[in-house]
Chain A
Amino acid sequence: MGRYVVRRLLQMVPVFVGATLLIFLMVNVMGDPVAGLCGQRQCDPATAAQLKKEFGLDKPVWQQYLTYMGNVFTGDFGTAFNGQKVTELMSTAFPVTIRLTIVAILIEIVLGISLGVITGLRRGKPVDTVVLLVTLVVISIPTFVTGLLLQLLLGVEWGWIKPSVSSDAEFGELFVPGLVLASVSLAYVTRLTRTSIAENRRADYVRTAIAKGLPRRRVVTRHLLRNSLIPVVTFIGTDVGALMGGAIVTERIFNIHGVGYQLYQGILRQNTQTVVGFVTVLVLVFLVANLLVDLLYAVLDPRIRYA
């Protein structure tokens, strides 16, 4: 097991370097960021040159990348154009997005798996058909439509929630945005669980468990669910990263000042430091989430442990 983890960690190094290099090149290709800094007018050449020097933009790209990565390992992610340290931006943005992601993942797990189990056990019954239809609808409606509709109905028409999230972004305020963010994945989790449960229901070990006279509840949770969850765990695990990065739309609708907002601003202002910094951290989140998923397999199914 230890060796497995070490091997996985080593594999992360080239992925990390490759991903950051790619994003670094992509942002640089977009052109000179200083051009947009002076508004509608041209920055006077002397100031522009001075600014480029300050942000290290006067050097060749490979050198910029090396300096940047060197700094990153010492925890220095550079400075955004508004004079703030990128680490400072991260320290305000990530907690908010992590909270939003936790809410979304919890909704996915609780609602998604419960619905999946219910429909999986009652395949072909009216409940199953209704849930299948609903998930189909959810999957086919884009997030921004759901988001704007919920915001308008719950926020303006009925006044149940505030249409925008305050700058504290507490858990309670994040429920509706979290639901919106989770909606599509929620539908997938439901469907994945349903299929998996329905398949395993006819497996020998389930029949044995029932034959032994175990209570139905114990059969479902201990035997059926545990084995059926492997594909679902894979999906949810990789979804952690996707949700954090994909929160741009949801965060914009509900005015949440998280990672999505900072990334959006960074791209609009062509702020290499912000974009690369945030993406670097997101890449790490993806990698760690994937690692955790692989480790979780071992917990769920001992046979995988020594593979």
Chain B
Amino acid sequence: MRGVMGVRWVVGAAAVALVASGCGGDDGGGGSGGDGVLTASWGDPQNPLEPANTNEVQGGKVLDMTFRGLKRYDPETGKANDMLAEKIETTDSQNFTVTVKDGWTFSNGEKVTAKSFVDAWNYAASLKNNQKNAYFFSYIDGFTKTHPEDGSAQTADTLSGLKVTGPLTFTIRLSQKFSTFPDTLGYNAFVPLPQAFFTDHAGWLKKPVGNGPYTIDSYTKGSQMSLKKWDAYPGTDKAQNGGVTLKVYTDNNTAYTDLMAGNLDLVDDVPATQLKNVKNDLGDRYLNTPAGIIQTLAFPFYDQNWNKAGSEKLRKGLSMAINRQQITDTIFQKTRTPATDWTSPVLGADGGYKAGLCGDACQYNPTEAKKLIQEAGGLPGGQVKISYNADTGSHKDWVDAVCNSVNNALGNEKACVGNPIGTFADFRNQITQHKMSGPFRAGWQMDYPLIQNFLQPLYYTDASSNDGQWSNKDFDKLVDQANASTDTAKAVEDFQKAEEVLRDNMGAIPLWYQNGSAGYSDRLSDVKLNPFSVPVYNEIKVG
């Protein structure tokens, strides 16, 4: 009898499963309004959710909702406005006195004081805390003691450049002049932290407590975070909705499908494959706005082939062989704009963006390209290989297109090939070990909307993200000069002069500026993306 019974039991269980699927629960975002909670797509943050440890967009979104710092970048213009800062004063661009506004608290009731900032910054800068954004504090005096770069023992736990001078005032001393320093303070790494962060760190990480317009209601790591409007929020940018539920998606295609099926309200990353249909599907509920992201091709200047006299002609020739307009139109469906300088349009003309600064070198001109490359002695080894990571971002498509364009210009089928590298980690690995033998994909998403951020970390000698090891004395001198200047307009001018040096040597080929894209359901209104391509959640209205 055993066999028969077994089979029968199995049939019964399957029938139960079938019935259950027919009348499955209905708890999605498309449900009833009233409380005005919206659902939005999210990715699993790569690092623990500490402000100074979060360096990618997904974790950054949450910090943007739950924290406010001394400054905040205007969601529209990108300008750094005072948020918790009453005033930040300096006479010499090196010593700053900060006064924190009165009346701000964390959502657990604790007051935000000068100490909340200084403790948070000291924590971030201390090597033993492993904070990945520690280098943001490297301008502050004493950083080399709390964070010795050479791996020697840490000799201080706190930054000597920070001093609490009153309940709501503190001073900052930098190790060098840095005129635009106050404008960097809108970055997430500079937010204040409550005492609970230090006393009950594990508990805080499970459910972070901040001082922003939202509080975290529940957090299931890897799948969902629900944020609620904080009614007692003291700021002027109160949340216009009842809350936001961030749902982790394994694939942005699934998120888009969910949006189409009315199961999700907001997708902030429209998959490349849907760009063709998105205008039909969503009409004006599709956003495509400029973001502070530029894509470039960097060169391995540690390789003699790419760094000898006259090789700037080679790099310029390659740049002129790329048909940017065609690639952005066809492959990216106009979600990117051909680059004509090394910054981003979100900076605005006052902020240092200068359209056309690159000049002829960024214009498609196959005949001139061929001539320049021949004058430079041809391609090193007869072929360029463009390296990229193949795991995310559909980089293969555009690298192949760039190569095609180069091949056509040079009339040689084998002049350029893509060189895919399996994972991003391995790609970064090969870059940091200086194993690149040709140009490689480089993308830069700004930390703060300053021209300084587009130039110094990337092209200053030995700077943190100078992956190609480009080095130029004139460039460095102009950057130093700009940083020392107390007049912002003059500083921007000097940065642009530095950018011209970069152009004349073609230190990296600018490709295109990237837009942020988003799509939303008809329940939402007032949806927009800030210059960091993150939705401005607190301004979204539901229903």
Contacts and interface: CB of A to CB of B under 8 A. Distances in A.
Contact of B17 (A40, A162, A171): A171
A152 B424 CA distance: 31
Contacts of B151: 45-46, 49
A47 interface: yes
Interface stretch (A12-20, A190-198, A261-269): A261-269
A41 B463 CA distance: 10
Nearest to B22: A172
Nearest to B130: A50
Contact of A36 (B28, B147, B251, B429): B429
A253 interface: yes
A159 B464 CA distance: 50
Contacts of A270: 423, 425-426
B17 A36 contact: no
A151 B44 CA distance: 23
B23 A172 contact: yes
A199 B55 CA distance: 63
Interface of B: 2-4, 7, 10-11, 13-14, 17-18, 20-25, 27-28, 44-48, 55-56, 127-128, 130-132, 134-135, 147-151, 205, 220-224, 247-251, 254-255, 257-258, 260-261, 263, 391-392, 422-432, 442-445, 457, 464-465, 467
Sorted from nearest, which 4 A-B pairs have the closest CB atoms? Answer: A36-B425, A175-B21, A172-B20, A83-B48
Interface in A158-192: 159, 161-164, 166-167, 170-176
Contacts of A256: 250
A301 B207 CA distance: 56
A33 B46 CA distance: 12
Interface stretch (A64-72, A133-141, A218-226): A218-226
A29 to B, nearest CB: 10
Contact of A110 (B11, B46, B48, B465): B11
Nearest to A29: B426
Nearest to A49: B151
B17 A44 contact: no
B223 A167 contact: yes
A222 B4 contact: yes
A103 B213 CA distance: 43
24 contacts: A35-B425, A44-B134, A45-B149, A47-B127, A50-B130, A81-B47, A82-B45, A82-B48, A84-B222, A106-B10, A106-B17, A155-B261, A156-B260, A156-B261, A159-B261, A162-B258, A170-B24, A172-B17, A172-B23, A222-B4, A253-B254, A255-B254, A268-B423, A269-B425
A190 B249 CA distance: 34
Contacts of B443: 40
A173 B26 CA distance: 10
A109 B56 CA distance: 45
Given A164-B263, A264-B250, A44 B3 contact: no
Contacts of A30: 422-423, 425-426
Interface of A: 30-33, 35-47, 49-51, 54, 81-84, 88-89, 92, 103, 106-107, 109-110, 113, 151-152, 155-156, 159, 161-164, 166-167, 170-176, 221-222, 225-226, 251-257, 261-262, 264-265, 267-270, 299-300
Contacts of B223: 92, 167, 257
Contact of B205 (A49, A83, A103, A300): A83
B131 to A, nearest CB: 7
B130 A175 contact: no
Contacts, number: 207
A166 B27 contact: yes
Nearest to B27: A166
A27 to B, nearest CB: 11
A163 B391 CA distance: 24
B132 A170 contact: no
Nearest to A258: B250
A32 B429 CA distance: 6
Contacts of B134: 44, 47
A176 B21 contact: yes
Contacts of A221: 3-4, 7
Contact of B261 (A40, A162, A268): A162
Contact of A164 (B258, B392, B423): B258
A162 B425 contact: no
A145 to B, nearest CB: 14
Contacts of B431: 35, 42
A6 to B, nearest CB: 25
Given A39-B55, A173-B24, A251-B250, 14 more contacts: A36-B426, A44-B147, A45-B151, A46-B149, A88-B221, A109-B14, A110-B11, A151-B257, A172-B24, A221-B4, A255-B251, A255-B258, A265-B44, A300-B3
Contact of B465 (A37, A41, A174, A268): A41
A172 B46 contact: no
Nearest to A167: B223
A47 B129 CA distance: 9
B14 A106 contact: yes
A151 B256 CA distance: 12
Given A37-B46, A106-B10, A166-B27, A50 B224 contact: no
A229 to B, nearest CB: 8
Contacts of A39: 55-56
Contacts of B17: 103, 106, 171-172, 175
A54 B130 contact: yes
A257 B248 CA distance: 9
B259 to A, nearest CB: 9
Given A44-B135, A175-B17, A225-B3, A84 B221 contact: yes
A35 B432 contact: yes
B46 A41 contact: no
Contact of A46 (B148, B220, B221): B148
A139 to B, nearest CB: 22
B55 A38 contact: yes
A226 B149 contact: no
Contacts of B55: 38-39, 41
B148 to A, nearest CB: 6
A257 B261 contact: no
Nearest to B10: A109
Contact of A163 (B149, B222, B258): B258
Contacts of A264: 250
B464 to A, nearest CB: 6
Contacts of A151: 254, 257
A103 B13 CA distance: 10
Contacts of A31: 425-426, 429-430
Given A30-B426, A83-B205, A251-B250, A167 B220 contact: yes
B25 A170 contact: yes
A40 to B, nearest CB: 6
B87 to A, nearest CB: 32
Contacts of B249: 164, 255
A164 B2 CA distance: 39
Given A44-B464, A171-B17, A162 B263 contact: yes
A129 B4 CA distance: 28
A110 B222 contact: no
Contacts of B248: 167, 257
A37 B429 CA distance: 10
A69 B152 CA distance: 32
Interface centre among B27, B222, B432, B467 (most CB of A within 10 A): B222
